Structure 1
Amino acid sequence: MNCHDDFTNSDYIAFDEKAFITRIKIRIPSLFRDEYDRICAPLHDYEYDQYALLDLIEFFAQNIEDISERWNNERYRNYQTIDCLNTSDVFENFQEAINEIFIESGLLYELTDEKIIERIVENSPLTAEIENNFAVVHEVGTRELLKDAVALYKTPNPSARQDSVEKIWDAFERLKTYYITLDKKHSSEKIVNDMAGGNDKFVDLFNDEFKMLTEIGNKYRIRHHETDKIDITDIRYYDYLFNRCLSLIALAIEYLM
């Protein structure tokens, strides 16, 4: 907020703590607060949303900026001036400190260069190369669904697992219609034939996998709104389903024309 200092006869911007707290309330409503509505560290026996803490870290990461500090007079030092700069080189130090805490705490999270926290999934088939290959997908809808699915898959909060599977299955179904000059059946056949390279054994293999994934999507509750499907009762199944579907899609993408 704007203020004026009579001693220096100059205007300055002060930290508006009240506005900051209000902003955090809006951005991260589930962040733990004490009985006085103050943001604070919860005690061990308190129930709280631990993932809200990760949201708070991301908030600071995305808003942190460099400052320059100087005294009005190096001898007397009557007052100090702090200038906010339009750079964020300090983020690297913040990122390093946060990731060190994750490592020391045994938490499989990482604050990335994009200033978001992602979970580290050990032995996952998802690689940077696979993500980069999404650019080969010229159909915008499929490409965006794949990007959204991966972002949700990497999200630390377990509640995003079903969303990631729903997105990857939507991408799978949309991929079947990739060749718009063909109907869905013949488009799928072209994708499979290109993958198999004319080898009938692999045509059968990939056809079976396409059919199996389609059957899984029809039988199990992949999408939130479907109430007549088999519930996925163990959250760990979502990673399996995601990676199975991703593996087929990733291979198919390599053969798209």
Structure 2
Amino acid sequence: MLRAEVPFVEWPVSHSDLPETPAILDLLEFCATAVGQPIEGSYHSFFGHHHLSWDREAGLTRLVGDVNLLFARNGVAYELSAEGQVRRLLPQPLADALSWTQFTTGDVETDRLLEIARRRIALPKSEDRVDAVEKLWDAFERLKTLEPGADKRAQADALLDRAAAPGSNFRRVLAEEAAALTKIGNGFRIRHSETTQEPLTSLDQVDYLFGRMFSFIRMVLRATGRGG
């Protein structure tokens, strides 16, 4: 089963040829799906052994504690959740925002995109984090159309007018940031894949853009009574 589900890990595990980090994390999650704690029961005198039972929760709890202790002592920025899934350790302000944010935009698809982005940015694999940014930008474009208006421009202006007082300096800042984020989404390979668009070249860039967009969206959601 391990060879089928995690093909990049040798079994038995080699002490000299270590797999890449994503494969190691997949191995940990694979183990977490099957781990348990054997519980010694009554003694069977005829066969000379004890009856054993299996405590799934106790075994998983012990594995999670052992793995997270190793991560912490070695400065590894991951953790194993109580359910046995590996997550990244995010910067504390962003982690707090992601943990407590709820989305009630009134549009099911916008809520769905925001929730996918919120969950996937914390996953360890690079493709999940890139997808999180894509979903966040898709949600941003839908968010612009949630207010009444004759067209998307009027709808977006109405949204920002609810988020900050029309004519105020902060309203102007929001408009400039919304325009900048729109330009980023169109200029980089985030929402589209034309050959003229520049790809993001590092996960630091992915995390930076996610944090910038998420902060903007969360502020607008909170200001307009749509969660956040």
Output the TM-score relative to the length of structure 1.
Answer: 0.76
In structure 2, the residue corresponding to 1:197 is in which secondary structure?
Answer: coil
Does the C-alpha gap of structure 1 residues 106 and 131 become closer, same or farther in structure 2, counting only changes over 3 Å? Answer: closer
- 1:127 to 2:83 alignment: no
Partner of 2:65: 96
User: Structure 2 vs 1, CA of residues 142 and 114 (structure 1 numbering), >3 Å: closer, same or farther?
Assistant: farther
Residue 83, structure 1, aligned to residue 53, structure 2: yes
Is 1:212 the counterpart of 2:183? The answer is no
| 1:155 alignment partner, SS class | coil
Unaligned runs of at least 5 residues, structure 1: 1-22
Who is 2:25 aligned against? 54
In structure 2, runs of 5+ residues without a counterpart are: none
Shift of 1:130: 4.4
Q: Secondary structure at the match of 1:118?
A: strand
Residue in structure 2 matched with residue 6 of structure 1 by the alignment = none
Report the Cα distance in structure 1 between the residues aligned to 2:138 and 2:73, rounded to whole angstroms.
38
Shift of 1:185: 2.2
| Equivalent pairs, count | 225
Partner of residue 41, structure 2: 70
User: 2:136 is matched by which residue type in structure 1?
Assistant: I
Name the structure with the higher helix share.
2
Q: Percent identity?
A: 28
Deviations 1:139-166 (A, max 9, x none): 2212221222222211223343322221
Asked whether the equivalents of residues 146 and 171 of structure 1 are also in contact (C-alpha less than 8 Å), the reply is yes
Bigger drift between 213-222 and 47-56 goes to: 47-56
TM-score between the two structures when normalised by the length of structure 2:
0.85
Aligned to 1:233: 201
Counterpart amino acid of residue 167 in structure 1: K
8 Å CA contact 2:103–2:115 kept in 1: the answer is no
- In structure 1, what is the Cα distance between the partners aligned to 2:38 and 2:18? 37
Aligned-CA RMSD value: 2.5
Higher mean C-alpha deviation, range 226-235 or range 96-105: 226-235
Q: In the alignment, which residue of structure 2 is the partner of 1:115?
A: 84
1:243 to 191, 211, 224: 211
Report the secondary structure of 2:41's partner residue. Answer: strand
Equivalent-residue separation in structure 2 for 1:229 and 1:47 (angstroms): 36
Change in 2 beyond 3 A, CA 1:181/1:203: closer
Distance in 1 separating the partners of 2:155 and 2:7? 46
Alpha-carbon contact 2:71-2:77 (below 8 Å) kept: yes
1:163 to 2:131 alignment: yes
Q: Deviation string for 1:11-55 (max 9, x for gaps)? A: xxxxxxxxxxxx22332222x21xxxx341341xx3632211111
Q: Distance in 1 between matches of 2:169 and 2:154?
A: 19
Amino acid across the alignment from 2:115: K
CA distance in 2, matches of 1:216, 1:57: 36
Report if the CA contact (8 A) 2:146-2:155 is conserved: yes
Contact 1:72 1:78 in 2 (8 A): yes
Distance 1:113 1:184 in 2: 43
**4+ runs deviating over 6 angstroms:** none
